[in-house]
Amino acid sequence: MFGLPAYIDQIVRAGVLGAICLAFIILAVRLVGLRSFSKMTAFDFVITLATGSLLATATVATSWTAFVQAVTGIGVLMAVQVILALNRRNSKDSLRIMENEPLMLMRDGTFLETALAESRVTREDILAKLRAANVLEFSSVRAVVLETTGDISVLHGDKMASEMVEGVR
C-alpha cells in the first residue's frame, strides 16, 4: 500500500490508517455531539459498536478503497443517528417504532414476576443491582426499571415522584 517491504508496510499502514480514521471519528463526534457515543437508546449503542468495528476495519484495510469504505460507513452511521435523534425528538410515533418501553421489574419492594419472565431478568440480577445501589431493605425500593438501553435503574428512598416512572410499563 505504501511501497515498503511487506512487514514494515503492514506496521506503517496500521499506524497511519488508524490515526487518520481516529482523527475522522474525533472530528465527526465534535460535529455530531457527544450523543454519538451515548447509550440513550439501543440504536445509539449499536452505532457505538459499529463505529468501533469500522475503526478496526479501517486500521487493517489493505487498500485505499477498503479504507474509504470503512470511513464512509462511520460517517453514514453518524449521519443516520443524527437524523433519527431529530426525528425522535419531533415525533412520538417514531419513538415507539425505534425503541422499547422501559419495564418495571420491582415496585415498592415487590418483584413483578410477569415482568421478570417477559424480560428474562432473574431475581439474582435484580439483587446484584440492589446491592450495587446500596439498598439495605426491600422496603426502601420504590422501583427497579429495565431501561430501553438494557441498563437496570434502582430507585430507592422514602418517596418517589410519579414522574420518575412516567412512560414505564
Residue 26 belongs to what domain range? Answer: 6-97
List, in order, residues 6 or more apart from 119 with CB less than 8 Å away.
103, 105, 146
For residue range 128-152, list pLDDT tens digits in order.
999 999 999 999 999 999 988 788 9
The C-alpha angle 68, 74, 80, rounded to 5 degrees, equals: 130
- Does residue 123 surpass a pLDDT of 80? yes
Task: Please say which residue of 61, 82, 97 terminates a domain.
Answer: 97
In the prediction, which pLDDT does 92 show?
A: 62
pLDDT per position as a tens digit, 19-51 = 999 999 999 888 887 777 776 777 788 888 899
> Does 98 have pLDDT greater than 70?
no
**Is residue 146 in a domain?**
yes
Q: What is the band of 115 on the pLDDT scale with cuts at 50, 70, 90? A: very high
User: How many whole angstroms separate alpha carbon 62 and alpha carbon 157?
Assistant: 57
The predicted model scores a pTM of: 0.67
Which one is predicted more confidently, 100 or 141? 141
End-to-end CA distance of the chain: 55
Number of structural domains found in the chain: 2
Residue 1 resides in a domain:
no
Does 89 share its domain with 33? yes
107 and 48 share one domain = no
